[in-house]
Amino acid sequence: MKQNVLDFEPELALFVDDVSPLKYYESILNFSLNNLHSQGQIFFETNENYKYELNKLAQNYEYNIIEFKLDNHNKNRFLILSKVGLMSRKLLMLINYWYTSL
């Protein structure tokens, strides 16, 4: 890890124990079950090495739109989760377009 990251980021934000490296993600997903709006989204900054594990974890919480976004170094760095189905998402975009074009 680069020195500038170690110098300015809290250790708690950078390191977790090897036994449960996804524990903070799982905690947020548990919280989202009762607290996230049905059309809400969750945005995570991730470690590229955990892409597949995070994808599986998100599916266990019934997130059906799982998008990984690349950072400026082409690494899977950001994860966007949504429970809105694809048809619902397209319908929302269509409704938004219709209202803004009035």
The pLDDT of residue 78 is 93
User: Which domains are seen in the chain, by residue range?
Assistant: 3-100 (3.40.50.150)
The pLDDT of residue 12 is 74
The pLDDT of residue 29 is 95
Q: What Å distances lie between residue 10 and 4, 16, 18, 94, 95, CA to CA?
A: 12, 12, 18, 43, 43
Q: Which residues of the chain have pLDDT under 70?
A: 84-93, 95-96, 99, 101-102
The pLDDT of residue 19 is 77
The pLDDT of residue 54 is 92
